Amino acid sequence: MKTISVSLGKTLLAAVMLAGQTTMLTAQSSGITFTNVAPGKQATASSISGVTHAASYAFDASLSTWYQSDFNEAQWLQVDLGKPYLLNSIIINWEKSYASDFDILFSNTGSFTDMVSDSIRYRNHFFKSNLSPNSDTIALKTNKVARYLKLVGYHSATGNGYGIREIQVMGTTSSTGLFPVSVTTFNAEQISANNQLSWTTVTEFNNAGFAIERSADAANFSSIGWLAARNGGTVSNNYSFTDKLALPGKNYYRLRQFWLDGKTGYSAVIMLNNASSNSGVSVYPMPAKDHLTIEYRGNAGENVFIVLLTTAGVPVYSGRMTMQGSSQSFVLNRSGNMRAGEYFLSIQGGGKQYNQKVLLD
């Protein structure tokens, strides 16, 4: 048994050769261990030369079998890894008929249009001999996360299509199946009538996005917004969200983070105690049964806009009144689409916005 080590910058690839077969054991980079994640995964191809050279033989962890296309030059071979992995490198073990011009594509959706900038192109690629085994070891960009890999051949070096004994896809996932998403800061600040939330990630892999959740009692949370992930790897990313319907008094916030595989996690809870900004507005009775009375204090001629929204942000009423003096009352009559429960009342006038939670019996 002979052990061979190939150095690729900070990446060390270790291979073991035994009885004419090569099996990639591990790759280590920045303290992360990578293994071949492709064996046994679903493989498809544009053509095969027969059932003994099916697409699956390029991903069976054996060099005694191989995939062979027909003799046309425009061919492709792809694998679905089953879930996204953090990828480190790819090792292609060719049969005698190898590609002189080919691309390697990546995707998280299967469309291969979502990661075009990550594609790898090989042109005028020739080995000194057509005798197998010839192989290519391809180091990938840092922090590449993908589920699908596709090799697209354009020209065969021998004119006999493409033969591939094995494609080893070196990837990793954590023991929980989740990549790390490290939120280092999570802050809230009151700006005028709005609450501005901001947070920073320093590691971010396999992240679908963040649901922003709010509570009035630190126990019962509901989602008030969503931000898609940037998946910046180890590059810091700054996120921000504006809560335009902040509650009077204490607002508790947390982030619910969603991974691409559907699992979720939560941030710590933070609290922002809004100073009362509704000194120019009175709303009663509370809870209301058949109507709400809104008393507004402002300036004559001022246009006041009133919106009543569900906790999901769906408006059930919108209206406008024009101030006839410095103080005026407005009655909002309950309609059939205003079911019992909590609502948010938003009032805009005089360059200010007033937000208040109301309860309908």
* Amino acid 295: pLDDT: 86
> Which pLDDT does position 1 carry in this prediction?
27
- The helix (H) or strand (E) run that includes residue 154 is strand 134-156
3-state SS of 161-226 is: CCEEEEEEEEEECCCCCCCCEEEEEEEEEEECCEEEEEEEEEEECCEEEEEEEEECCCCCCEEEEE
Strands of 232-338 (E only): list them: 237-243, 249-259, 264-266, 270-274, 281-284, 291-297, 303-310, 315-322, 327-333
Question: In CATH, what number is assigned to the domain containing residue 76?
Answer: 2.60.120.260
CB-based burial label for 357 (10 Å; 0-12, 13-18, 19+) = middle
**Are 192 and 333 part of one and the same domain?**
no
pLDDT of the residue at 95: 92
Q: HSE on the CB side for 67, CA within 13 Å?
A: 29
Cβ 294 vs Cβ 332: under 8 Å: yes
Domain that holds residue 319: 281-360
The answer to whether 165 and 132 have CB atoms below 8 angstroms apart is yes
pTM score over 0.85: no
Please tell me the predicted confidence (pLDDT) of residue 170. Answer: 93
Q: Indicate whether 145 and 26 sit together in one domain.
A: yes
In DSSP terms, 324 is beta-bridged to: none
Q: Can you give the pLDDT at residue 345?
A: 87
> Would you write out the chain's pLDDT as a tens digit for each of its 361 residues?
222 222 223 322 223 222 233 333 334 444 467 899 999 999 999 999 988 999 999 999 999 999 999 999 999 999 999 887 878 899 999 999 999 999 999 988 888 988 888 899 999 999 987 776 799 999 987 667 788 999 999 999 999 999 999 999 998 764 333 445 667 678 888 877 788 999 888 667 778 889 999 998 888 898 999 998 887 666 678 899 999 888 877 889 999 888 777 788 888 788 888 755 444 788 888 788 899 888 888 888 888 999 998 877 788 999 988 988 888 888 999 998 899 988 888 888 877 777 777 888 8
Same domain membership, residue 310 and residue 269 = no
Instruction: Verify that 191 and 291 share a domain, yes or no.
Output: no
Same domain, 193 and 250: yes
**Domain end marker among 274, 306, 321:** 274
Domain count, the chain: 3
How high is the pLDDT of residue 218? 87
CATH number at residue 240: 2.60.40.10
**Backbone CA torsion sign across 22, 23, 25, 29:** positive
Residue with tokens 């209206």: 319
Q: Are 308 and 276 in contact (CB under 8 A)?
A: no
Q: Which residues pair with 239 in a beta bridge?
A: 199
The CATH number given to whatever domain includes residue 318 is 2.60.40.3080
pLDDT reported for residue 11 = 29
Helix (H) or strand (E) holding 358: strand 352-360
Q: What are phi and psi of 127, to 5 degrees?
A: -95, 160
Any residues with CB less than 8 A from the CB of 89 and at least 6 apart, and which? 8, 11, 13, 27, 34, 137, 138, 139, 140, 170
Which pair of tokens denotes residue 179?
């990549």
Picking from 284, 263, 278, the residue whose alpha carbon sits closest to that of residue 352 is 278
Separation of alpha carbons 215 and 247, rounded Å: 9
